Amino acid sequence: MFSKGTKRKFSDGDDEMPDESLVSAKVASSYSLQRQSLLDMSLIKLQLCHMLVEPNLCRSVLIANTVRQIQEEMTHDGSWQVVESFSSAGQSPSDRLVATEVLCRSPTSGREQDGEHKLFSVISYDGCREEEVVADETLCSVSVGDPSSNICLSGGLGQRWERGELRGVMADECDEACEDSRLGPGEEDVDAEEECPTEEPKSVGQVFGTFEIKNGSPGPDSALEELFSDVDASYYDLDTMLTGMQSSPKMGPYDLLDSLAPSHAPPSIAPSSNCRSDLNELDHIMEIIVGS
């Protein structure tokens, strides 16, 4: 079930992962290893909602709570220190590596593009961090005093996790307003290109900058909502994930309206906001933005 293919003994946790390259030398304790693998497992579980029947909400909520718990602990531990993770070429999934790369590239590019661009000021790291950190970030409720900071980048990066799986899932038309508050879609769209790793930092920053402008000023504590809600492509959108929407093009009115409520535009667009990040829509918007 665990996609890494790691052989797990019953009393797991004591064994080190075969692909040790994942773990930085600084994060050496087996507890951190265990915790990380638990986090990985949980995130994968949340992703696997590509089924015809709605997934079990109780199970999803419990897994999501576990993920929150882990990331809270990792925040308190300060386990998000800089780690030289992305020298690790042999990682699986490679998405993480990509995410890390982009994350590392963005600070310079982002700031070049937009002075107010605070993508990484939110996460007070210095550039590169290991992919686990990226994953954690997306779940971390970073409370940003600066309303212009936008952590959708991390949200989007987190999306890279299941980028491959999520591709092709979204087909709906999304209201432009939906995407305003989501950098995620844009980011994801960027990620969706196969050549992610080789993407121009400039364009990435462009995307974020542009989206940020469109986004207006999300509230300081809307970061978490944004991270969560922009991923209809990602399980981070708890709403869609919990209600199993991500496998379906259309979302039910109840859940979408609720989840979109805090960070979205006025109710007048509510009906169309029923369709979340739609890759096609994102592509379209991206073309407009990047192409211009």
Closest CB to other proteins among 220 and 249?
249
In the list 111, 220, 249, 270, the residue contacting other proteins (rule: CB under 8 A) is 249
CB of 262 to other proteins, least distance (A): 5
In the list 242, 275, 279, 282, the residue contacting other proteins (rule: CB under 8 A) is 242
**Taking contact as CB under 8 A, which single stretch among the options 130-138, 147-155, 187-195, 250-258 is the one that binds other proteins?**
250-258
CB of 53 to other proteins, least distance (A): 5
CB of 44 to other proteins, least distance (A): 10
The pair of three-digit structure tokens given for residue 101, joined into one six-digit string: 């790369």
Closest CB to other proteins among 216 and 253?
253
Residue 90 dihedral angles phi and psi, to the nearest 5°: -90, 30
Residue 98 dihedral angles phi and psi, to the nearest 5°: -60, -45
In the list 71, 100, 206, 229, the residue contacting other proteins (rule: CB under 8 A) is 229
Cα separation, 251 vs 242, in Å, equals: 12
In the list 26, 28, 57, 143, the residue contacting other proteins (rule: CB under 8 A) is 57
Which regions of 139-216 does DSSP assign to beta strands (E)?
Answer: none
In the list 91, 259, 273, 277, the residue contacting other proteins (rule: CB under 8 A) is 259
Q: Give yes or no for a contact between 130 and 158, defined as CB atoms under 8 angstroms apart.
A: no
In the list 13, 147, 197, 220, the residue contacting other proteins (rule: CB under 8 A) is 13
Cα separation, 291 vs 274, in Å, equals: 27
The pair of three-digit structure tokens given for residue 131, joined into one six-digit string: 């992919």
Query: Is the omega angle on the peptide bond into residue 93 within 30 degrees of 0, that is, cis?
Result: yes
| Residue 272 lies near other proteins (rule: CB under 8 A) | no
In the list 125, 161, 228, 235, the residue contacting other proteins (rule: CB under 8 A) is 228
- CA distances in angstroms from 96 to 86, 222, 292, listed in the order given: 9, 25, 30
Residue 21 region, left (φ>0) first, then alpha (ψ -120 to 50), else beta?
Answer: alpha
Nearest to 59 by CA among 247, 267, 243, 274: 243
**CB-based contacts of 263, cutoff 8 Å, min separation 6:** 181, 218, 219, 222, 225, 226, 229
Residue 217 dihedral angles phi and psi, to the nearest 5°: -120, 100
Residues 60-89 that bind other proteins (CB under 8 A): 61-62, 64-66, 68-70
Q: Is 98 exposed, middle or buried (CB count within 10 Å of its CB: 0-12, 13-18, 19+)?
A: buried
CB of 251 to other proteins, least distance (A): 7
CB of 66 to other proteins, least distance (A): 6
| Residue 254 lies near other proteins (rule: CB under 8 A) | yes
| Residue 276 lies near other proteins (rule: CB under 8 A) | no
**Taking contact as CB under 8 A, which single stretch among the options 11-19, 96-104, 110-118, 191-199 is the one that binds other proteins?**
11-19
Cα separation, 206 vs 210, in Å, equals: 6
In the list 15, 19, 38, 147, the residue contacting other proteins (rule: CB under 8 A) is 38
Binding site residues, other proteins, CB under 8 A: 1-2, 8, 10-13, 34-35, 38, 41, 45, 52-54, 56-59, 61-62, 64-66, 68-70, 224-225, 228-229, 237-239, 242-245, 247-255, 258-259, 261-262
